[in-house]
Amino acid sequence: MVWYEASLDLWEIIDIIADDLIGDAAWEEGDVTWDTTTKTGENARRVVHHIADDIYVSLIQVNTARRAGSQSYYAKGLIVVISDAWAANEPSGNIQLTFVPFEADSTSAIDADLADFQIVHKLFTSADGFALVGVPPVNALDIYQSNFLVVVERAASKIYVDGYTNFYILVQGNFLKIQFNQYSCGANLFGQVVKWWKYTRALHLQHQTEPAWEEAYNAFKSIADGKAYFMKPVLHNDVEGKTPWLQPEFWIAIDSSKANLADDDEIAMPAPSTKSYQVTLKQSPDSALYIWYAIIKTEA
């Protein structure tokens, strides 16, 4: 497991995630032709393969404007793809993807070039995936800038044997969400419609709202003993919240109503666990809204 706090281009972050994963024996390079050498269009990309589960996770830098249907929103960002096969140098078999827009404008002439556009970020990687929070740099020439949270986690154990994969994807941001879910965003990719999805239950369902997942008891700090109290979220295999399959390890939700945990606070789990979470209450250049989450920083 590794924790990073830095400012890097998105393609560099993609390389770090991919290299860290394939540095573990559970993963391997998915396709050596997928690299970040060319940074134009959607050419900066990496794919990793989880050997035992036979699942491919692909990360693609979107350095071209993808438009939200006929709306006046165009965005660049990240696409996360998960598939259970690989053929002809691209995802194959059952495929799901989600778009993570963070740099946008009202026309396709987005100023930012993601080849050289450093994202202030916090990143956790381990053999079970990664958790990433990023904030783009201030760019007055693009009028919509969003922060973002991306989690790809493999469940080491599930609540029950459900017959589905061990993976899920969580995506959040404080801006540019609904616009990029209500409409398809540009050309299909690998035969799939490109949209923003908050919750992807890998190769089973994609959904935007609770109770497909439940942030059941969000974290807050007691004014009596100074400790944080929370319950881990619950992920479901249906959109009605009737089939819990996992309480994830990579993130927890923060209580926005009490708002007494601050950005960069650390929440340490009780001994003997050495697991800790870092609160990431990030704003973005074009929105004062927060994303109310903490991501894992250390694990036992």
- Identify whether the C-beta of residue 92 lies closer than 8 Å to the C-beta of residue 55: no
Show me where the domains of the chain are located: 2-298
Burial class of residue 177 (count of CB atoms within 10 Å of its CB; 0-12, 13-18, 19+): middle
Cα separation, 152 vs 280, whole angstroms: 17
How far separated are the first and last CA of the chain, in Å rounded? 10
pLDDT value for 92: 98
- Pairing state of beta strands 276-279 and 266-268? antiparallel
pLDDT value for 177: 74
H helices of 3-123, where?
Answer: 10-22
pLDDT value for 67: 94
Question: Could you give the C-alpha distances from 196 to 18, 56, 267, in angstroms and in order?
Answer: 22, 19, 29
pLDDT value for 202: 98
**What b-and-e string marks burial along 154-174, b requiring 16 or more CB atoms within 10 Å of the CB?**
bbeeeeeeeeebbbbbbbbbb
* pLDDT per residue of the chain (300 residues) written in tens, 0 to 9: 999 999 999 999 999 999 999 999 999 999 999 999 999 999 999 999 999 999 999 999 999 999 999 888 999 999 999 999 999 999 999 999 999 999 999 999 999 999 999 999 999 999 999 999 999 999 999 999 999 999 999 999 999 999 999 999 999 998 877 789 888 999 999 999 999 999 999 999 999 999 999 987 899 999 999 999 999 999 999 999 999 999 999 999 999 888 789 999 999 998 888 899 999 998 899 888 889 999 999 986
Residue 64 phi/psi, 5-degree rounding, is -145, 155
pTM for the model: 0.96
The dihedral through the CA atoms of 279, 232, 19, 9 has a sign that is negative
- Whose CA is closest to 47, among 152, 168, 201, 164? 152
Cα separation, 273 vs 259, whole angstroms: 26
- Whose CA is closest to 99, among 201, 209, 202, 194? 194
Burial class of residue 140 (count of CB atoms within 10 Å of its CB; 0-12, 13-18, 19+): exposed
Question: Could you give the C-alpha distances from 244 to 27, 162, 163, 212, 215, in angstroms and in order?
Answer: 27, 10, 13, 9, 12
Cα separation, 184 vs 66, whole angstroms: 9
DSSP state of 175: S
